[in-house]
Amino acid sequence: MSSRSIRLGDLELTSLLDGYFRLDGGAMFGVVPKPLWEKRAPADERNRITLGMRPLLVRGAKLMLIDAGAGAKMDAKSVDIYAIDRRHNLSHSLAEAGTAPGEIEIVLASHLHFDHVGGFTTRESPTVIRPTFANARYVVRTSEWDDATHPHERNRASYLQDDFVPLREAGVLDLLDGDAEVMPGVRVRWTGGHARSHQVVMIESGGRTAVFTADMIPTTAHIDEPWIMGYDLYPMETLAFKRTFLREAIDHEYLIFFEHDPTIAAGYIRERDRRKYVEPVRFD
Ligand SMILES: [Zn+2]
């Protein structure tokens, strides 16, 4: 097993890294005032905080990748705006995990924002963009596909058509409806909130549950219910989901994978004296 792996029943989960980027700290914490959030996430001179991009590899009946980071298609202006740092990126991470892009069989999207699915496609020449994972089927929720391909003023900057339209053109896209099982032990669960059809991924095997929470609980700084991103289109849905989910996660000791945390890839949410905290998991 790779050093970033953990066994969950019949499945092996490996936390990957597609590098780091930065987003406005205020936008990451919504109504929470800066004096509170900057204690958890210090801001740079442009008020940005550092975030990780941590796709998850699942070895089970098939080899599955959940999300794929921002990838390498961004132009210099966007690289500067988002301070994208991919010196250590997904291809390094996959090699460290003992695999390669051509071995991935299923690629699953939490949602289609660029920092999650930019890596789904690769620019081969100025006019040709191809699926990065040549032998994979790509699984996307139908209603998320509809929203991403019909963006409006509020979400247009997040949905970059080159990240996903080439998948349909290549015939590798599988649209999925409802909270379906994607492979044995892995199913999606609708959350809404961040986007109308945002989903988390529930991974269950051997009586244990791990969850890839994507943008519902993007970092360990977001484990308190009202710490909700300003980016969310439907923040009251986020709040409703977090109330239910956090109770479940604490009571049933879910192993949470924090896709955007700059340092803590995974951990258990605990509660002491009504205060929540994260016990990081050690990969060894
Ligand atoms: Zn997002």
Q: Coil, helix or strand for 137?
A: strand
Q: Please tell me whether the overall predicted TM-score, pTM, comes out greater than 0.95 for this model.
A: yes
Tokens standing for residue 57: 């590899």
Position of tokens 């219910």? Answer: 225
- Give me ligand 1 centre to Cα 95, in Å: 26
Confidence of residue 131 (pLDDT cuts 50, 70, 90): very high
Read off the pLDDT of residues 64-85 as tens digits, 9 standing for 90 and up. 999 999 999 999 999 999 999 9
Task: Compute the Cα dihedral for 56, 57, 59, 64 and give only its sign.
Answer: positive
- Give me ligand 1 centre to Cα 1, in Å: 30
- Give me ligand 1 centre to Cα 197, in Å: 11
pLDDT of amino acid 1: 52
- Give me ligand 1 centre to Cα 143, in Å: 15
- Give me ligand 1 centre to Cα 194, in Å: 7
Outline where DSSP puts E strands in 112-180.
121-125, 128-131, 137-141, 173-176
- Give me ligand 1 centre to Cα 39, in Å: 23
Confidence of residue 282 (pLDDT cuts 50, 70, 90): confident
What is the spatial distance between Cα 137 and Cα 276, in angstroms, rounded to a whole number?
38
Read off the pLDDT of residues 11-63 as tens digits, 9 standing for 90 and up. 999 999 999 999 999 999 999 999 999 999 999 999 999 999 999 999 999 99
